[in-house]
Amino acid sequence: MDDVITRRRKGGATQTPVAYLNCNFAAPVGEKPALFTHDEVITLFHETGHGLHHLLTQIEELGVSGINGVEWDAVELPSQFMENFCWEWDVLKHMTHHVDTGAALPKELFDKMLAAKNFQSGLGTLRQIEFSSFDMRLHDDFDPNGGRSAMDLLNEIRKETAVMFPPAYNRFPNNFSHIFAGGYGAGYYSYKWAEVLSADAYALFEENGVLSPEVGHRFWSEILAQGGARPALESFKAFRGREPTIDALLRHNGMA
């Protein structure tokens, strides 16, 4: 997803925002329609979340309108939030059909997909904590001219977090491109923190009905409409009525 035009005041008029999704999905084959994998549907919903964040803003100052000015560790909140609907049976059963018979996705298959989603999610969480901690420590208290290497630092962190250890010849820091060439330096934790926010936000929908118009309007007015006009944590608290907690994320990952 990227933006083309941002909402703002121009003269006496409001400029209408425009965004686009550049998708790389499988094309149709022969006479068959294009078929999306579940992962592709998740990607579509994820990027649509970014699009909604940009299109539904009510802010008219260019620098904080839409996706502009949103803190790095919260800009993924709307996108990861939208992914949850792809794991909701009451949503998925209405948007899946067998290409030949037209039959909806069987509930038994959905349950297997859900079980596979949460397989080893604890290890996946520890992996993200390891990477995030390494990134933070590397940018905070690591001395490149000191007596230890980046690899030594990573091994220290692994002793605190890892369950399984890679072989000694592994040199993960040498190709951790996210923090050296991908713009995530000192900010890799944002992946997991945005998951906390998005899962906790979605939990309010779970409590009131996942397609609740009232909660949906509140999500728009307090988060999507606000863009970067106020700190993201303030927007979250205005929507949720409290500070974020990790409870919903643990539950969604099958760990609580």
* Distance between CA atoms of residues 209 and 63, nearest Å: 35
The answer to whether 206 is a known catalytic residue is no
How would DSSP label each residue in 147-197? SS-HHHHHHHHHHHH-SS---TT--GGGG-HHHHHSS-TTTTTHHHHHHHH
Helix axes 190-208, 232-240, angle to 10 degrees: 20
Residues 6+ apart with CB under 8 A from 211: 90, 91, 205
Options 47, 76, 195, 222, the catalytic residue: 47
* H or E stretch at 249: helix 247-252
Active site residue ranges: 47
